[in-house]
Amino acid sequence: MLRAYAVRLLECEARALLERLREMRPFALTLPMVVAAAPTIAAQTAIETLLSRGRRSLRAAVHGFLRWLSSPAGVQASPAEAQRRFTSIRLRFLSVITQFDVFADALAERSQHGYGDLIAGLDAAAADALALPGNPLDVPPLICHLDRGAGAAIRRIRTRLPGGGVSPVAIIRVPRERMIGTAIAGSLVHEVGHQGAELLDLVGPLHAALGKTAAQAGRSRDAWLCFQRWISEIIADFWSVARIGVAATMGLMGVVSLPAPFVTRLILDDPHPTPWIRVKLSAAFGKAMFPDPQWDRLAAIWESFYPLDSNRVAHAPLLRELDATLPAFVRRILDFRPLRLGGARLGDAFPLSDRSPAQLRRLWTAHRRGDDVFARLAPTVALAVVGQARCDGVVGASAEAGLLRRLLRYWALRDTVRASHVRGMQHEPRPFALAG
């Protein structure tokens, strides 16, 4: 009698799993986002394929368990054995639910009025930031979403999902507090840089190369060991500067502007560079790739914000050594020749001429004359133009935010309908006119 009750209970629980599984409908049937806010077809297909495969597998497992319960083997099995089999299936169900929630969290904000199309615009900017002209990068589907907290993050493609399996898309989390202003571009492209570094296999070989350099560095050994420890985050910062110029450095300054003890504190097991040297390093990359007096000026401003007073900064000597080593370290990164670039220099893999400060200023001047230049620019170039204007002090925060909103919405629309139709819409005949 006890076994009959146990079997009835487990059968009911198993059938309840099937009912809950039916509620996990495709996102295309449940999320009421406008078309312009939707992720790319490639991203939607990859997500729905993964989740559908998980649902089919779990459904088959539940039906198999129900058949086993009534089979001769199941009839003879103890309640403990039946419970063991059921709990195994339930854990798989929880994994499927967790994976569903990972993507639900990434897509839910797209249904919010006024945010969904902005997030879709970030998708377009992220895809452009990852693509390197002339280089065979297999650019994966990317989707962005907003979340709480102060830090951005990325779940790279093919990284492990909760409960097993790998992500079919790259998911970039952007803090809501960074929507919208200078820091949004820098945070977004920094996270893209992590995916780019993985696709080019940069971190491991660079880590090994820097270890060899440190072993021969003599007095600057500690500085090179720090750079080796931080290389993953440094490469992402390098990618950001290479793609959007001074917008990356200014955005970084905004993100890591913290009380002085946090900016100069050296935590050796933190993969992020100490904020004081991180900003200096970003400016050093910019100076090497896009020569202009602005980089020295930004570095000097940063030092004036956080002076290295030896009496107050515990690690001032090491920070000064890191600062003195920056030129040699930057050359080491730019001259590195990854195998996946066929022996070409890393510094030559990025298009730089269309992002030089002089060119960005010319584009801004054309925009101020009334030319609809932004509609013709790649998203990262457009973001670089806006960041350069902000650095030069020719656009205020309100006008910058308004322009960034229009750019993001335009990219979302452009990827949904023909750009010529977007530019011809009567309700917004000049979508990129400067506001404010």
Q: What is the pLDDT of residue 184?
A: 87
pTM to 2 decimals?
Answer: 0.85
Residues 283 and 402 in one domain: no
Q: Which tens digits make up the pLDDT trace of 69-116?
A: 889 888 888 888 888 888 888 888 888 888 888 888 778 778 777 778
Enclosing H/E stretch for 145: strand 142-147
Residue with the two structure tokens 């935590």? 267
Q: What stretches of 78-220 show up as alpha helix (H) in DSSP?
A: 79-108, 116-130, 182-199, 203-215
Q: How confident is the model at residue 278 (pLDDT cuts 50, 70, 90)?
A: very high
Cβ neighbours of residue 39 closer than 8 Å, sequence gap 6 or more: 47, 107, 110, 120, 123, 141, 143
Q: What is the pLDDT of residue 394?
A: 93
Residues 54 and 101 in one domain: yes
Q: What is the pLDDT of residue 419?
A: 40
Q: Report whether pLDDT(310) > 70.
A: no
Residues 256 and 392 in one domain: no
DSSP-derived 3-state class of residue 427: coil
* Amino acid (one-letter) located at 333: I
Residues 205 and 329 in one domain: yes
Q: What is the pLDDT of residue 364?
A: 95
The β-bridge partners of 2 are none
- Counting Cα atoms < 13 Å in the Cβ hemisphere of 308 gives 19
Q: Kind of pairing, strands 153-155 and 170-175?
A: antiparallel
In a domain, 434, yes or no: no
In a domain, 43, yes or no: yes
Q: Report whether pLDDT(321) > 80.
A: yes
Q: What is the pLDDT of residue 179?
A: 75
Residue of 242, 129, 185, 173 lying closest to 401 (CA atoms): 185
Residue of 342, 5, 47, 83 lying closest to 168 (CA atoms): 47
Please give the tally of structural domains in the chain: 3
Enclosing H/E stretch for 142: strand 142-147
Residue of 267, 263, 261 lying closest to 252 (CA atoms): 263
Taking CA atoms, 117 is separated from 32, 252, 281, in Å, by 13, 25, 34
Distance between first and last Cα of the chain: 79
Q: Report whether pLDDT(317) > 70.
A: yes
| Whole-number Å distance between alpha carbons of 330 and 231 | 12
Write out the DSSP string of 357-410.
HHHHHHHHHHHHTT--GGGGS-HHHHHHHHHHHHHHT-S-HHHHHHHHHHHHHH
Residues 204 and 322 in one domain: yes
Residues 413 and 345 in one domain: no
Residue of 119, 252, 128, 118 lying closest to 182 (CA atoms): 252
Q: What is the pLDDT of residue 89?
A: 87
What residues make up the domain containing 376? 353-423
Q: Would you tell me the crossing angle of helices 246-255 and 294-305 to the nearest 10 degrees?
A: 10
In a domain, 433, yes or no: no
Residue of 59, 48, 53, 47 lying closest to 22 (CA atoms): 59
Q: Report whether pLDDT(431) > 50.
A: no
Write out the DSSP string of 264-321.
H---TT-SSPPHHHHHHHHHHHHHHHS--THHHHHHHHHHHHS---TTT-TTHHHHHH
Q: What is the pLDDT of residue 417?
A: 64
Lowest mean pLDDT among 256-260, 321-325, 328-332, 384-388: 256-260
Q: What is the pLDDT of residue 426?
A: 39
| Whole-number Å distance between alpha carbons of 394 and 399 | 10
Q: Report whether pLDDT(430) > 60.
A: no
Lowest mean pLDDT among 150-164, 198-212, 249-263: 150-164
- Degrees, nearest 5: CA angle 194-199-203: 60
Residue of 428, 233, 183, 422 lying closest to 333 (CA atoms): 233
Q: Report whether pLDDT(182) > 80.
A: no
Handedness of CA 415, 46, 179, 383 (dihedral sign): negative
Q: What is the pLDDT of residue 424?
A: 45
Residues 101 and 20 in one domain: yes
Residues 359 and 346 in one domain: no
Other beta carbons less than 10 A from residue 98's beta carbon = 12
Q: What is the mean pLDDT of residues 243-254?
A: 93
- Residue 250 CA to chain centroid, in angstroms? 18
Cβ neighbours of residue 383 closer than 8 Å, sequence gap 6 or more: 125, 185, 189, 244, 247, 404, 407
Q: Which tens digits make up the pLDDT trace of 14-51?
A: 888 888 888 888 887 777 777 788 888 888 889 888 88
Residues 205 and 302 in one domain: yes
Q: What is the pLDDT of residue 1?
A: 62
In a domain, 303, yes or no: yes
| Whole-number Å distance between alpha carbons of 165 and 160 | 6
In a domain, 241, yes or no: yes
Residues 216 and 318 in one domain: yes
In a domain, 147, yes or no: no
Q: Which tens digits make up the pLDDT trace of 401-423?
A: 889 989 998 998 887 764 444 44
Using the 3D structure, point to which of 110, 126, 153 is the last residue of a domain: 110
In terms of Cβ atoms closer than 10 Å to its own Cβ (0-12, 13-18, 19+), residue 319 is buried
Residue of 291, 284, 363 lying closest to 324 (CA atoms): 284
Using the 3D structure, point to which of 47, 80, 110 is the last residue of a domain: 110
Q: Which tens digits make up the pLDDT trace of 230-247?
A: 999 999 999 999 999 999
In a domain, 132, yes or no: no
In a domain, 142, yes or no: no
Q: Report whether pLDDT(294) > 60.
A: yes
pLDDT over 90 for what percent of the chain? Answer: 42
Q: What is the pLDDT of residue 435?
A: 39
Residues 216 and 311 in one domain: yes
Residues 205 and 332 in one domain: yes
DSSP-derived 3-state class of residue 433: coil
Q: Report whether pLDDT(436) > 80.
A: no
| Whole-number Å distance between alpha carbons of 306 and 258 | 10
Q: What is the mean pLDDT of residues 356-361?
A: 96
Q: Report whether pLDDT(434) > 60.
A: no
Using the 3D structure, point to which of 321, 350, 379 is the last residue of a domain: 350
